[in-house]
Chains A and B, each alone.
Chain A
Amino acid sequence: MTMRAIGLLLWKDVVVELRAKELVYATIFFAAVVLLVFCFAFLGGPRPTVDVAAGVLWVAIALAGTVGISRAFEREREGDTMRALLLAPVPRSALYLSKLTAISLLMLIVETVALVMVSLLFVISIGAALPMLVALLLLGTIGFAAVAALFGASLGRARSRDVLLPLLVYPIVVPVLIAGTRGTVALLVGAEPEVATFWLKFLLVFDAVFVSLGVWIFEPLVAGDA
């Protein structure tokens, strides 16, 4: 029942996005602009280290992620569809998990573009590190989305929600950013595979903690607040 509900809710988000194509394009473009801004800041002088490229990638992901998420929930608010979703006869946790998955999907598409751009602009060959890097991005994205989906959904009617969302999300996802950046550096340098594996495991723990916590408190958080 729950799995089917998650699937249906996710399908709804995907169909809406396929028709509007608003979020994907806007978020990809935003990520590209952020990356370009970083290039103007870092490129041109001596060639920056891998640390810079990894940091730039993850900061772009975090910034683009918040923009995409706040827009995604803005859409629910404009059509007043959040209320309808909360009234749907499905467990609230299904709603949370479907939003989490939808946001992760969106972010993964954006990350694919961002990764290609970073490797081109900073002249880094990813090659052999790709499978591990994908795993790192996937786990990091789930961790980020687990936090952002919860607060995005509960910020529904706040006046200053666009400012509040990053304010609430960023301090909490700092471990994701540290793990993502350090893991990416380790992979791109290529000398320390065990460091990357460690950060992968760390992200797995982070995801487990925050997804379970999110499932647990989503219900009381949004109950009676439609």
Chain B
Amino acid sequence: MKLRPYFLVVATLAALGLLVAPQLIISAPREASMGFVYKIFFYHVPSATMTFLGAFVCAWGSVTYLFKGSEKGDQLAVSAAELTVLFGLLTLVTGPLWARKAWGVWWQWDVRLTTTLLLWFIFIAYLFARKYGGPGSRKLAAGLALFGAADVPLIYFSVSIWRTIHPKATVITGIAKSRNGMGTPLLVAFITFTCLFLALLELRLSLERARARVDELHLEAEDAGLVS
């Protein structure tokens, strides 16, 4: 597996960040109303951001694959889709852990929660489509990624209106504004997660490149009559 040079940089930064971030998070001040519980936020928010970043990258890769037939676009799309599912899972696990303490329930049909959940479902469907979609499944999945990306704003909008008609208090927005001493750990967490995302993306991409190369070699070997 050939990794691009930047992999070492982002992987090192991610590893360092994962070492440093917990210390910073522990030493961050307690939030006035939430106390200790809010600290899951330092993992939750970057995870959520990476989920949406992954979806965006996947949609971009899918566009280049569908319209230009770019193999690299397809490799990028599938790698990013897997990361979307991974970080989406992290988001959907850390979220309810916090919500149980903050709201008293594991789940609320709040707009962000619902949108993230549906986005996650769409990308699980993407992976299913690729695995079990039969011939042409890569194109099918690419179409799904595009539809999914176009759908996210509509889901967000429809759920937010639906919830405005039946309003329920949410605490998320208040916490989002980081106060004194909370900004640095959040920034470190963000950088760490972004580096982790890039490192994993590159690892996954190199796997796809290797896979494509193996297919190529196999075809060449077949042509040369070495394998049947």
Measured CB to CB, the residues of A under 8 A from B are: 147, 150-151, 154-161, 163-164, 167-168, 171-172, 174-175, 178-179, 182, 195, 198, 202, 205-206, 209-210, 213, 217, 220-222, 225
The 3 closest A-B pairs by CB, nearest first: A158-B134, A225-B136, A171-B121
The distance in angstroms between the C-alpha atoms of A217 and B67, with both chains bound, is: 8
Q: Among A156, A175, A198, A202, which residue has the most Cβ atoms of chain B within 10 A?
A: A175
Q: Among B132, B140, B151, B161, which residue has the most Cβ atoms of chain A within 10 A?
A: B140
> Which A residues are CB-close (under 8 A) to B155?
174-175
- B209 on the interface (CB 8 Å rule)? no
Q: Which residue of chain B is the closest to A160 with respect to CB atoms?
A: B132
The distance in angstroms between the C-alpha atoms of A210 and B151, with both chains bound, is: 9
Cross-chain contact of A164 among B122, B132, B143, B146 (Cβ < 8 A): B132
> Which B residues are CB-close (under 8 A) to A156?
134, 136
- B162 on the interface (CB 8 Å rule)? yes
> Which B residues are CB-close (under 8 A) to A198?
161
Besides A150-B143, A151-B144, 9 more A-B contacts (Cβ < 8 Å) are A151-B143, A154-B143, A155-B133, A164-B132, A171-B148, A175-B157, A206-B154, A209-B154, A210-B150
- B158 on the interface (CB 8 Å rule)? yes
B147 and A210 form a contact (CB under 8 A) = yes
The distance in angstroms between the C-alpha atoms of A159 and B137, with both chains bound, is: 11
> Which A residues are CB-close (under 8 A) to B133?
155, 158, 164
B146 and A217 form a contact (CB under 8 A) = yes
Q: Provide the B124-146 mask, 1 if CB < 8 A to any CB of A, else 0.
A: 01001100111111011011101
- B159 on the interface (CB 8 Å rule)? yes
Q: Which residue of chain A is the closest to B144 with respect to CB atoms?
A: A168
